Copies of this chain bind each other. A is one copy, B any other.
Amino acid sequence: MEAQHYSHEDILGLDQRFRNAFINCLSGFKSATLVGTQSADGLTNLAIISSIVHIGANPPMQGFIHRPTSVEKHTFMNIEETGSFTLNHVSKAFFPQAHQTSARYDREVSEFEATGLTPWYGAVSAPYVEESLIKMGFSLQDIIPIPINGTWLIVGKLEEVFVPSTAIASDGWVDLTASGTLAVNGLDGYGEVTSLGRLAYAKPDVPPTFV
Q: What mask results when residues 1 to 14 of chain A are scored 1 for a CB within 8 Å of chain B, else 0?
A: 11111111001101
- The reply on A77 being an interface residue by CB < 8 A is no
Task: Find out whether the CB atom of A1 lies under 8 angstroms from the CB atom of B142.
Answer: no
Interface residues in A126-177 (C-beta closer than 8 Å to B): 133-136, 141-142, 144, 146-149, 151, 153, 155, 157-166, 168-169, 171-177
20 contacts between A and B (CB under 8 A): A5-B161, A8-B60, A11-B60, A15-B172, A18-B171, A20-B57, A25-B176, A28-B31, A29-B181, A30-B54, A55-B146, A63-B146, A95-B196, A99-B199, A103-B204, A104-B204, A144-B146, A177-B185, A183-B193, A190-B195
Task: Find out whether the CB atom of B28 lies under 8 angstroms from the CB atom of A164.
Answer: no
Chain A interface residue bracket vs B: 35 or more
List residues of chain B with CB within 8 A of the CB of A29: 29-31, 176, 181-183, 193
From B4, B19, B103, B194, give the contact of A60 (CB < 8 A): B19
Complex CA–CA separation, A166 to B1 (angstroms): 8
* Distance (whole angstroms) from the CB of A162 to the closest CB of chain B: 4
- The reply on A26 being an interface residue by CB < 8 A is yes
